[in-house]
Every structure is written in structure tokens, then in C-alpha cells.
Amino acid sequence: MLCFATNNQHKIQEARAHIGPRFHLVGLSEIGCNEELPEDQSTLEGNSFQKAEYVFRNFGVSCFADDTGLEVEALHGAPGVYSARYAGDQRNADDNIKLLLKNLESANNRKARFRTVITLITPSLTKQFEGIVNGIIINEYRGSGGFGYDPVFLPDGYVKTLAEMSMEEKNTISHRALAITKLVDFVKQQTDIS
């Protein structure tokens, strides 16, 4: 069993689709963790480690946690580590997107990237994996799939936003999928992750 330290069902579905049947992947609710995980570090790496370490220490299961940020060049990397609560502690995706588009109104440079850092903690190791997808922020919402900033993020080389892609399409290019691929490739080489 491997725990993905999240209660976000979108993330768990993406991860299960990517990992496949080789590992029994569970979320926090399935291990009895109902509390909010600590997430007060100033970097994606720090938050990812803090969440995984909390679950491993308190629940004794091998786990991984991710932290993802949208890093916008014209905003000097913002919202970055504060992506989920960019417009406030209510963590509302629509509010976050509206604030982002407002802050980019006069910007000619729309370059951005999604970056995910995953920390894996087992009894024998701790390791981090990174996934990045580059793109631009468009001016209008497009698509109803995905979550977060997906409706306004157009990956380089694509005509669809992440929110317009099927889960299968998104799982071939997304930042989280890239980081999870590195995680899965690593775990497959291990003899025991429990």
C-alpha cells in the first residue's frame, strides 16, 4: 500500500490512472487521516516534504505528497507556493483565476509554468521528484475539466488548455504526471516500499 497524502479526489484519480494496478494507492481518508496537513513552508519542496513526513510519522505508512505551483514569469514566479490561496484562505479556484488575470491585464509576457514537487517517504528512504510543464496564461476560461488554473493554462505546443484535455491527454503531459512518472519509475526499482 502506498498513500498519496491528499484528500483531493481529482489528484488521486490522476495518480491512480497514471500508476495503474501495480500499487494499491490510497488517499488520506482511507488511512483514517482527516485532519488538515501542515503546509506552511516557503517552497514547494518544503511543503511537499512537510506533508509526507507528517503522514509517515503519524500514520506509519509509506507515502508521497505533492505540492504544485503556477509560476508566472511576469509576476516574478507568483503565485508559486501560494497558488491554492492566491486570492485568500478560502482557496477558491475561480477567485484565484480572476485575480491572476487581473494582475496580468497589462502584461505582454504571458509565459508560465506549472511545477510539481513530490516527496516520497518510506521506512528506508526519502526522495523528491519534479515535473514541469511550460505554457502561457490565456485571457479567457476554456474547458470544464481539470481543476485550479487549468482553464487558463495553455501548454506549449498545444491548442487545448489543460481543462479542455481528457484525463488521458493531460496525464501524458502534465506537471503532476511527469513527477509521478519519475516516482513510479523509481518505486518499480525498489524491492520493498512498505
Nine-digit cell string for 4: 498519496
Distance of alpha carbon 115 from alpha carbon 128, whole angstroms: 13
- For residues 5 and 55, the answer to whether their CB atoms sit within 8 Å is yes
C-alpha angle with apex 111: 108 to 114, nearest 5 degrees? 150
From the list 67, 94, 150, 185, the catalytic residue is 67
Annotation marks residue 40 as catalytic: no
Tell whether omega for the bond before 38 is within 30 degrees of 0, i.e. cis. no
- For residues 78 and 42, the answer to whether their CB atoms sit within 8 Å is no
- For residues 132 and 153, the answer to whether their CB atoms sit within 8 Å is no
Distance of alpha carbon 37 from alpha carbon 19, whole angstroms: 23
Helix 175-188 × helix 9-19 angle, to 10°: 50
How, if at all, do strands 2-4 and 63-72 pair? parallel
- For residues 168 and 177, the answer to whether their CB atoms sit within 8 Å is no
Q: How far apart are the first and last CA of the chain?
A: 7
* Residues assigned a catalytic role: 67
